[in-house]
Structure 1
Amino acid sequence: MLKVGLTGGIGSGKSEVSRRLAACGAVLIDADKIAREVVEPGTAGLAHVAGVFGTEVLHEDGSLNRERLGSIVFADSEKLASLNAIVHPLVGARVAELQEQTDDDAIMVYDVPLLAENNLAPMYDVVVVVDASDEVRLARLVELRGMNEQDVRARFAAQATRENRLKLADIVVSNEGSLEELQARVDEVWSELIARAAS
């Protein structure tokens, strides 16, 4: 089994690359998706988050108000660390379950937004970094996702720098061009992953 850590800053296009690698045949483990699952209503994870951050981080229906929680933790590194201390062990346990259910010859792509921030590179055989300049990422997030520029800059500040992410990369996917260019690069990366898995 080849374990591939896929990361990139917010707005880099990492999720697009992960979808395209899954279409090539990778088994995709989406850390963000799992992180949402472990704090769904009725879970011990959500109860723990509400216990630490208060019921103001919940919607009236009892589900997690991600925007409210995000505005609290991205403005305070200690609170972000507290949230991570709750969520990361739960995500790790779920990922371990999924690995056990996967064939030994699979190429597993772990979509891990905070790979650099949490020093997770050693967990993977290969680290793939999806890269785009801060200017391109900012424009995408403001124009395509409708995010507030100040919120985007706060998230940039809470994440690893572009340089720190690139230092960890075994493979870089530059994503500042068209979707056709991105697909061509993903195809090259997939061929390289197949070669590494076979060696």
Structure 2
Amino acid sequence: MNTSSSKPWILGLTGGIGSGKSAAAEHFAALGVHVVDADHAARWVVEPGRPALAKIAEHYGDAVLQADGQLNRSALRSLIFSDPELRRWLEALLHPLIREEIAHNLAQAQSPYAILVSPLLIESGQYATTQRVLVIDAPQALQIERTLLRDNTNEQQVQAILKAQASREERLSHADDVLVNDRDLKALKTEVERLHHFYLTLRGGQP
């Protein structure tokens, strides 16, 4: 029988663009932790055939659709980054749907704790659904360098994304734990393992 004490508690994992939160999440998953990615949930809710996509096309016009009927993410991204009103409309439509998708996925967890990975954990208020917050932190110059290496983008776009995300100070003020990822992947994995062993000792996310 699943008693309430054996129900997994939820760790919110966040960090700015290029901080290494995906690499950290992957390693937690490799250690057997159930990981739900808010970005994946955000992609699923706008799949063709789901109601959100039709509403988006109706609101922004067909320019945000690709020829095959999929969402044209880069067209949508450039629209909403240049206009806060358009961004607010999209968030009002998608956030409740994404919340539902995330809750459904977290409910499948069998591990002692589960992780919700979200770049906008703080800004979207998603952290309120978690019992503990881990921030992956990195110096801004390193964030920019990593993102330019990884994505086909330019520094101006990276700066725009950094601006739209919570400030580092704001993120850190919500953190229960901070992992500074300014070295290599091996160091990151070691830190993740240390935190994992600590998290296994927690009940409900608190010591």
What band does the TM-score fall into relative to the shorter chain? over 0.9
Q: TM-score, normalised by structure 1?
A: 0.94
Q: TM-score, normalised by structure 2?
A: 0.91
Describe the SS at the equivalent of 1:3: strand
Q: What code does the residue aligned with 1:2 have?
A: W
Shift of 1:173: 1.1
Describe the SS at the equivalent of 1:28: strand
Q: Is the 8 A contact 1:30 1:112 kept in 2?
A: yes
Q: Is the 8 A contact 1:75 1:154 kept in 2?
A: no
Gaps (5+ residues) in structure 1? Answer: none
Render the CA deviation track for 1:46-99: whole Å, top value 9, x for unaligned: 111112211100001110000110011122222111111111111111122223
1:53-72 pair list within 5 angstroms: 53-72=60-79
1:141-156 pair list within 5 angstroms: 141-156=147-162
- Aligned counterparts of 1:12 and 1:81: Cα–Cα separation in 2: 25
Aligned-pair identity (%): 38
- Aligned counterparts of 2:185 and 2:37: Cα–Cα separation in 1: 21
- Aligned counterparts of 1:21 and 1:77: Cα–Cα separation in 2: 35
Gaps (5+ residues) in structure 2? Answer: 1-7
Render the CA deviation track for 1:4-45: whole Å, top value 9, x for unaligned: 000111111111111111111111111100110110111111
- 1:21 maps onto 2:28 in alignment: yes
1:127-138 pair list within 5 angstroms: 127-138=133-144
- When the two chains are superposed, the root-mean-square deviation of aligned CA atoms in Å is 1.4
Q: Is the 8 A contact 1:12 1:132 kept in 2?
A: yes
Q: Residue 88 of structure 2 is aligned with which of 81, 84, 94? A: 81
Q: Runs of 4 or more off by more than 6 Å in structure 1? A: none
